[in-house]
A and B are shown apart, each in its own frame.
Chain A
Amino acid sequence: MKRIIVITGILFIASLVILSFRTAPPTPANYPAIPRDSIGSVKAFMSVYKVLMSSRCMNCHPSGESPLQGDDNHIHTMNVKRGVDGKGLYAARCSNCHQAENTAGLHMPPGNPKWGLPPANMRMVFQGRTPRQLALQLLDPKQNGGRTKAQLIDHMAKDDLVGWAWHPGDGRTLPPMSRPAFAAQVRLWIAKGAYAPSIKTK
């Protein structure tokens, strides 16, 4: 009887040791496992591209050192500049005119607590980029602010300043699709393999 108890004890401890070496169950990805599909991925990215190249997004991702304004993407009045931190220069800092929220009225300054351009060392230019160039840029942590694909999705889907584009204040046109639809296309683009469009895609 004693021997049975001892053997049972040894078996119990051994099973505990074995169980402790079990690999952890795979953590669920934040996007569903969808088979890689270059055509579907590129199609989704082209929807994303249309949003990113719309005025509400592109005006603060200019190719030059000044932000843009309006649906015609003209250079910001006063020729304000990016500055090192993307928040302007001297007496022309963004938050000197742009408040934490939109100022009510037509042609009044829009606002957000984070209002500004990307910083000088991470310019994240959208203006003038082809679909292929922009896709590759967005996927490159050296050019996208150090973001992983999951962080890229999170930024597009949840960031407050990105979200301003869908609440831009009086007189400003909206991006060509809703934010949930946009976020879904970003997820789809990445879930299907994060393919960049071909060089010929315009």
Chain B
Amino acid sequence: MINITVNGQHHDVDADPNMPLLWVIRDIIGLTGTKYGCGAAQCGACTVHLNGEAVRSCVTKINRAAGQNIVTIEGLSTNNNHPLQLAWNEMNVPQCGYCQSGQLMSAAVLLRENPNPTDQDIDDAMSGNICRCGTYQRIRAAIHKAADMQREGAKI
């Protein structure tokens, strides 16, 4: 049994230690917001937080996550009210939506570490998340918007 914590809930997982974390999240725990894109850490669709870092769950073996804290898109906020999620809605960022949970999880690490990112900071953080619909301009605008919302929220 491998013990992992996903979105604050403990799970004892009976799986091969080499199983990708993505498989565990989707097929065993049943959280399907995290997507399979390439299986080779090239696209970012499977991004989740492992102890706060935006890891690619398709190449992260479950034994690396043993005893660690994982957050998926379902656990990013309590009520879909993370500033990024609000900005994503307001700016109508998604088109097909497949990559967006990974985009949001990567952007959340950027905003946590840099509350006021420049365009260059956004490029540096987000270039590893591919969007087949090409929503990059809206993603950039929404990250700026979320940064503004986060700063406004901090003032209240």
Contacts and interface: CB of A to CB of B under 8 A. Distances in A.
Interface residues of B, number: 27
B61 interface: yes
Contact of B128 (A92, A99, A103, A108): A92
B17 to A, nearest CB: 13
B56 to A, nearest CB: 5
Interface stretch (B39-47, B67-75, B76-84): B39-47
A80 B64 contact: no
A91 B110 CA distance: 6
Interface string A76-118: 0111110000000111110111011001010111000000000
Given A91-B47, A95-B53, A97-B41, A103 B59 contact: yes
B124 A92 contact: yes
Given A78-B128, A100-B64, A108-B59, A91 B54 contact: yes
A81 B123 CA distance: 10
Given A99-B61, A103-B59, A92 B125 contact: yes
Given A90-B114, A109-B41, A81 B124 contact: yes
B152 interface: no
B54 to A, nearest CB: 4
B40 A108 contact: yes
B48 to A, nearest CB: 10
A90 B61 contact: no
B106 interface: yes
A93 B44 CA distance: 13
Dominant secondary structure at the B interface: mixed
Nearest to B120: A81
A70 to B, nearest CB: 14
Contacts of B127: 78-80, 92
Nearest to A77: B42
A91 B40 contact: no
Nearest to A96: B55
Nearest to B129: A91
Contacts of B123: 79
B114 to A, nearest CB: 7
Nearest to B102: A91
A80 B129 CA distance: 11
B83 to A, nearest CB: 16
Contacts of A107: 40
B107 A91 contact: yes
Given A96-B54, A108-B59, A90 B64 contact: no
Nearest to B42: A77
Contacts of B125: 89-92
B59 A91 contact: no
Contact of B126 (A91, A105, A108): A91
Contacts of A105: 40
B16 interface: no
A100 B129 CA distance: 22
A99 B60 contact: yes
A93 B114 CA distance: 14
6 contacts: A78-B127, A90-B125, A93-B53, A97-B55, A97-B56, A99-B61
Interface of B: 40-42, 47, 53-56, 59-61, 64, 105-107, 109-110, 113-114, 121, 123-129
